[in-house]
């Protein structure tokens, strides 16, 4: 029997919750082969951290439809998937590159793998990225703007205007979901506008999406697939996606 640590189990509970919007104590007990009391303690801890709301027999998410999860919630889920795809994407970035980076936790994971690169310039709307790399050997540029505290992101007209001053080698973004018919989608318009502007300013455009983002529809369309050069994901998509992206001239890395 394979045993997992409590912190790993709680992370996987959150992954189940994000996919299904609701989890049940009995089902989780069987999945993880622990007692229902252990699962209840896990759910209580996650509720105390503001990650879910307990309900009769289980737990539910608290966000309304169309709203993004907070930065803390996004950082807590799908960590192995993000790390996996970031390891694949890091080879696209070279010494001396200039990069625009959005406020996604997936892009942040990639940036942490670039610490040994030389002469990198990063332009970002991510408060977390600016804080994490305050002492790094990178040139860091903030776009300024209005602070969206929910996602630790700078947004608004001033932020978009500041981005137009720069032209970069790469833009690195993630998104809420991708759908073959509806395109690349985001959960709020403010951050969608920032991503659109970042894409306009780059020679090469890189979209980071783990497999849970495929066939997922969100609140607002951000862009079409033909505006992206690379999609990096953690596992091979199905044949329909592979064929579709090839026709869109998107380089798929998995």
Helix (H) or strand (E) holding 171: strand 168-173
Identify the CA nearest to 83 among candidates 241, 237, 232: 232
Give the CA angle between residues 14, 15, 17 to the nearest 5°.
60
Please check whether residue 51 is in contact with residue 14, taking contact to mean a CB–CB distance below 8 angstroms. yes
Architecture label for domain 6-62: Orthogonal Bundle (1.10)
Q: What percent of the chain clears pLDDT 70, i.e. is strictly above it?
A: 92
The per-residue pLDDT for 23 is: 92
Give the CA angle between residues 124, 249, 175 to the nearest 5°.
35
> How far is Cα 93 from Cα 98, in angstroms, rounded to an integer?
9
Enter the DSSP assignment of 49: T
The per-residue pLDDT for 206 is: 99
Where do the domains of the chain lie? 6-62, 73-253
pLDDT band at 63 (very low <50, low <70, confident <90, very high): low
Q: Identify which has the larger pLDDT, 121 or 7.
A: 121
Q: What is the pLDDT of residues 97-117, one digit of tens each?
A: 999 999 999 999 999 999 999
CA distances from 211 to 78, 236, 238 (A): 10, 8, 10
Q: What is the pLDDT of residues 206-235, one digit of tens each?
A: 999 999 899 988 889 999 999 999 999 999
End-to-end CA distance of the chain: 30
Mean pLDDT in residue range 58-84 = 64
The structure tokens listed for 103 are 């406020």
Architecture label for domain 73-253: 3-Layer(aba) Sandwich (3.40)
> How far is Cα 247 from Cα 230, in angstroms, rounded to an integer?
13
Please check whether residue 182 is in contact with residue 206, taking contact to mean a CB–CB distance below 8 angstroms. no
Please check whether residue 158 is in contact with residue 86, taking contact to mean a CB–CB distance below 8 angstroms. no
The per-residue pLDDT for 48 is: 84
> How far is Cα 164 from Cα 197, in angstroms, rounded to an integer?
7
């Amino acid at each position: 029997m394979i045993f997992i640590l409590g912190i790993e189990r709680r992370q996987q509970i959150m992954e189940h919750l994000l996919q299904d919007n609701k989890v049940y104590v009995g089902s989780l007990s069987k999945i993880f082969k622990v007692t229902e009391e252990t699962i209840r303690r896990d759910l209580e801890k996650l509720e105390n951290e503001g990650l879910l709301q307990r309900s009769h027999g289980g737990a539910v998410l608290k966000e309304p439809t169309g709203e993004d999860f907070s930065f803390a919630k996004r950082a807590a889920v799908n960590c192995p998937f993000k790390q996996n795809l970031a390891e694949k994407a890091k080879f696209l970035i070279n010494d001396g590159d200039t990069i625009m980076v959005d406020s996604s936790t997936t892009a942040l994971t990639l940036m942490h793998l670039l610490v040994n690169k030389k002469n990198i310039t990063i332009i970002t709307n991510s408060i977390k990225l600016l804080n994490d790399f305050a002492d790094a050997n990178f040139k860091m540029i903030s776009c300024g703007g209005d602070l969206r505290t929910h996602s630790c992101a700078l947004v608004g007209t001033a932020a978009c205007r500041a981005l137009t001053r720069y032209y970069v080698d790469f833009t690195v973004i993630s998104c809420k979901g991708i759908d073959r018919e509806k395109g690349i989608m985001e959960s709020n318009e403010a951050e969608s506008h920032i991503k659109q502007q970042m894409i306009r300013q780059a020679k090469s455009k890189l979209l980071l999406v783990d497999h849970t983002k495929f066939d997922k529809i969100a609140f607002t369309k951000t862009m079409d697939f033909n505006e992206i050069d690379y999609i990096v994901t953690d596992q091979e998509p199905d044949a329909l996606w592979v064929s579709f992206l090839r026709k869109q001239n998107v380089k798929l890395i998995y």
